[in-house]
């Protein structure tokens, strides 16, 4: 079985703040070295700088489609780069954006050589945003987010149909929502995705490092 890509979103959980967040980043880095599985962490925006230089890819949870200038309170892609960030989630279910802005974000990130992961809540949305040619589209049914019920098992159809909906071979499909175990990751791969986007199953686990390890135990 091919190796999955694992995107770990720290959201705004207190369990991922400060030292605890950095320990999680280090644990992900160690696991990546051990297994060769690509793991990307997405800490909270104000803390991104503290995750720089640990030999693991760090992405933002959000970016705004802006150029340097007067945009108080926005997240400038170039600032993310200065923090060692090499990509970003866009249009997460908890931070939606109009389609035009999604497109602009993807284009700006591409111009800067950064990776884009656009989240989508439906097959129609997957089809729409994949036309913007992001690096990844992540299908996430909102009702399963944070539920502990894995999308790859609860709604395999939405995953396979999302994979079918993306006709551009350069746009890879991830799935997310309720993923917490190695068997969920395995199911996601079997449905044709290249990996998973997850948060609570690891960040809020009693033992996040053990949960992270379990995630890559799927053979
Ligand atoms: O960004 C992550 C997704 O919203 C999934 O969250 P979850 O793993 O807590 O269900």
Is the shortest distance between the CB of 199 and ligand 1 below 6 Å? yes
pTM exceeds 0.95, yes or no = yes
Q: Count of alpha carbons within 13 Å of 122, Cβ hemisphere only?
A: 3
The per-residue pLDDT for 219 is 53
**Full residue range of the structural domain in which residue 51 is found:** 5-215
Give the distance (Å) from ligand 1 centre to CA of residue 110: 25
Q: What is the ipTM of this complex?
A: 0.98
Is the shortest distance between the CB of 142 and ligand 1 below 6 Å? no
CATH of the domain at 56: 3.20.20.70
Q: Return the closest-CA partner of residue 174 out of 87, 104, 83.
A: 87
Q: Is 11 annotated as a binding residue?
A: yes
Rg (the chain; Cα; Å): 16
Extract the residue ranges of the chain whose pLDDT is less than 50.
Answer: none
Domains of the chain: total: 1
Residue 120 to residue 125: CA distance in whole angstroms: 5
């Amino acid at each position: 079985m091919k190796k999955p890509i694992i995107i770990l979103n720290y959201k705004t959980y207190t369990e991922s703040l400060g030292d605890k967040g950095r320990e999680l980043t280090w644990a992900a880095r160690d696991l990546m070295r051990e297994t060769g599985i690509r793991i990307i962490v997405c800490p909270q925006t104000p803390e991104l700088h503290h995750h720089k230089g640990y030999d693991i890819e760090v992405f933002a949870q959000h970016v705004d489609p802006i150029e340097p200038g007067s945009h108080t309170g926005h997240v400038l892609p170039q600032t993310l780069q200065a923090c060692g960030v090499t990509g970003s989630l866009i249009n997460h279910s908890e931070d939606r954006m109009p389609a035009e802005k999604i497109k602009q974000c993807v284009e700006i990130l591409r111009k800067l050589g950064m990776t884009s992961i656009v989240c989508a809540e439906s097959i129609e949305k997957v089809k729409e945003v994949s036309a913007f040619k992001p690096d990844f589209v992540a299908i996430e049914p909102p009702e399963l987010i944070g539920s502990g019920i894995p999308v790859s098992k609860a709604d395999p159809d939405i995953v396979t149909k999302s994979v079918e909906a993306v006709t551009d071979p350069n746009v890879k499909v991830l799935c997310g929502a309720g993923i917490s175990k190695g068997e969920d990751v395995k199911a996601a791969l079997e449905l044709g995705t290249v990996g998973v986007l997850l948060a609570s199953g690891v960040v809020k686990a009693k033992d996040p490092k053990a949960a992270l390890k379990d995630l890559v135990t799927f053979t």
